[in-house]
C-alpha cells in the first residue's frame, strides 16, 4: 500500500472490474464515537470533486440520512490549498498532496507524523472528524451511478436500485471503493454535518501505473457557520458572436448577435443559417474559497454545451471568463433563446442569463 498508515489507520485495496484495477483507498476518523478511512475525456478536477460531493450525499439520502453541507475551508484544504503545520512549515491540500507523491497517506507531507485530523482542532473543528482517500485509473467518461447499491455490487448499477446520477466513471469508482469498505462507508454515513472534497490528477508513477485520479474528503461535526457554502454562483451577462466578433459590437466581415447585462437583454442581431457562433460569459462564485465547478449553454431550453470544468474553471477563484462554440445547423429561421447557467462545488445552480440569437431565413 503506498504511503504510511500510522496511528492505527486502516488501508484497503478493492477491485471493481477492469475500471478499478490498481485502485486504492484509505480512511481515518477521530472524535467521540468515531468509526475506526486516464481518460477519453480530460480529467476536470473541480467537476470531479463536485460529483463526489453529490454522490456521497446521494448515498446518505439512500440510507435515510441527512445530506452534509459543503464547508468551503474543508473543501479547499481537501483539494489543493496549503495550510500551516503545527510548529512551523506548511503542506499542500490533501488530494494534491497525495497526487504529487504518487500514493495515499494520511500523513501530511509537510508535517511529519501528523494527519489533517491533528490540525483540524486549530481550525475550530473540535468534535467528530474524519478523512477518506482513494485513487483509481478509471475514465472520465459518463456513467449512470445508482444509489443504494449494497457493498460488493458489480459495476455502478444494481437490480431494483432507486435514483441515478450521470457522473464521470472515475468519481463513481471512488465512491464504489468507499462503499465497498466497511470503514470508509461508515465515515461516509457518519454523524457529521459538513464536509469538503478534493480531486487531483496524478502525474507520478506508482507500482500500478502512471497518472490516475486522487480523491480526498474531510468530514466534521460542528464548526464556524461562516464557512458553510450557502450561496449559488452567478452568471454576469451573455455574449453571442459570429465569425469572431466581439459580442455586442459588430465588426467588418462579422455579425454581432446579442449580449446581456446581468439578466437583461440589450442587443440582438441576425446570422446566416448554419453559422457557428461563440457564446461567452463571466461565471462567478462570490463566496470566500468558492469555486465554479461547471456551466451549461442551452438553446431554446435544450442543453447544447455541458462543461464539466476545465483547466480555466479549475484555476478560477472568484470569477472566470468562459466561452463555447455552438452551431446553428438545424435551427429554424427566426429568434432563439440562448441561456447560460453555472454550478458551484455544492451542486447549486445559478440563475440563468439570457441572450437572443436570430437565424436568417
pLDDT at 20: 35
pLDDT at 303: 82
pLDDT at 32: 42
For the cut 60, the answer to whether the pLDDT of residue 59 exceeds it is yes
pLDDT at 85: 92
For the cut 80, the answer to whether the pLDDT of residue 35 exceeds it is no
For the cut 90, the answer to whether the pLDDT of residue 53 exceeds it is yes
pTM (predicted TM-score): 0.77
For the cut 60, the answer to whether the pLDDT of residue 36 exceeds it is no
For the cut 50, the answer to whether the pLDDT of residue 299 exceeds it is yes
CA angle in degrees (0–180, nearest 5) for 141-146-150: 125
Mean pLDDT, to the nearest integer, of 90-105? 92
Comparing 57-71, 90-104, 170-184, 333-347, the range with the smallest average pLDDT is 333-347
- pLDDT category at 253 given cuts 50, 70, 90 is very low
**CA neighbor of 197 nearest in space, from 317, 56, 333, 87:** 56
Does residue 229 contact residue 344 with C-beta atoms inside 8 Å?
yes
Count Cβ atoms below 10 Å from residue 249 Cβ, excluding itself: 12
Listed in sequence order, the residues at least 6 apart from 115 whose beta carbon sits closer than 8 Å to its beta carbon are: 7, 9, 28, 106, 107, 108, 131
Does residue 312 contact residue 342 with C-beta atoms inside 8 Å?
no
**For residues 202 and 193, what is the distance between their CA atoms, to the nearest angstrom?**
30
pLDDT at 41: 47
Amino acid at each position: 500500500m503506498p504511503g504510511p498508515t500510522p496511528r492505527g489507520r486502516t488501508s484497503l485495496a478493492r477491485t471493481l472490474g477492469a475500471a478499478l484495477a490498481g485502485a486504492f483507498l484509505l480512511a481515518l476518523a477521530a472524535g467521540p464515537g468515531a468509526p475506526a478511512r486516464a481518460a477519453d475525456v480530460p480529467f476536470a478536477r473541480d467537476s470531479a470533486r463536485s460529483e463526489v460531493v453529490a454522490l456521497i450525499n446521494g448515498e446518505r439520502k439512500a440510507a435515510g440520512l441527512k445530506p452534509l453541507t459543503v464547508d468551503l475551508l474543508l473543501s479547499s484544504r481537501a483539494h489543493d490549498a496549503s495550510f500551516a503545520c503545527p510548529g512551523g512549515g506548511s503542506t499542500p491540500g490533501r488530494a494534491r498532496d497525495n497526487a504529487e507523491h504518487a500514493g495515499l497517506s494520511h500523513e501530511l507531507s509537510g508535517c511529519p507524523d501528523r494527519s489533517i485530523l491533528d490540525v483540524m482542532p486549530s481550525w475550530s473543528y473540535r468534535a467528530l472528524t474524519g478523512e477518506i482517500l482513494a485513487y483509481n485509473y478509471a475514465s472520465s467518461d459518463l456513467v449512470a451511478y445508482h444509489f443504494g447499491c449494497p457493498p460488493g455490487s458489480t459495476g455502478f448499477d444494481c437490480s431494483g436500485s432507486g435514483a441515478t446520477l450521470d457522473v464521470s466513471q472515475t468519481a463513481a469508482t471512488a465512491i464504489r471503493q468507499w462503499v465497498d469498505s466497511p470503514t470508509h462507508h461508515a465515515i461516509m454515513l457518519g454523524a457529521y454535518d459538513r464536509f469538503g472534497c478534493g480531486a487531483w490528477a496524478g502525474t507520478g508513477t506508482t507500482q500500478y501505473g502512471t497518472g490516475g485520479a486522487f480523491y480526498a474528503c474531510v468530514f466534521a461535526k460542528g464548526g464556524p457557520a461562516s464557512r458553510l457554502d450557502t450561496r449559488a454562483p452567478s452568471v454576469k451577462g451573455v455574449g453571442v458572436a459570429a465569425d469572431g466578433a466581439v459580442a455586442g459590437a459588430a465588426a467588418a466581415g462579422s455579425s454581432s448577435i446579442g449580449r446581456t447585462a446581468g439578466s437583461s437583454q440589450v442587443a440582438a442581431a441576425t446570422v446566416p443559417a448554419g453559422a457557428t457562433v461563440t457564446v461567452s460569459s463571466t461565471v462567478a462564485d462570490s463566496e470566500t474559497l468558492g469555486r465554479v465547478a461547471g456551466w451549461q449553454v442551452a438553446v431554446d431550453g435544450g442543453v447544447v454545451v455541458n462543461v464539466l470544468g476545465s483547466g480555466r474553471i479549475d484555476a478560477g477563484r472568484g470569477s472566470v471568463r468562459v466561452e463555447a462554440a455552438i452551431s446553428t445547423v438545424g435551427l429554424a429561421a427566426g429568434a432563439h433563446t440562448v441561456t447560460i447557467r453555472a454550478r458551484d462545488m455544492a451542486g447549486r445552480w445559478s440563475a440563468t442569463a439570457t441572450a437572443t440569437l436570430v437565424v436568417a431565413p
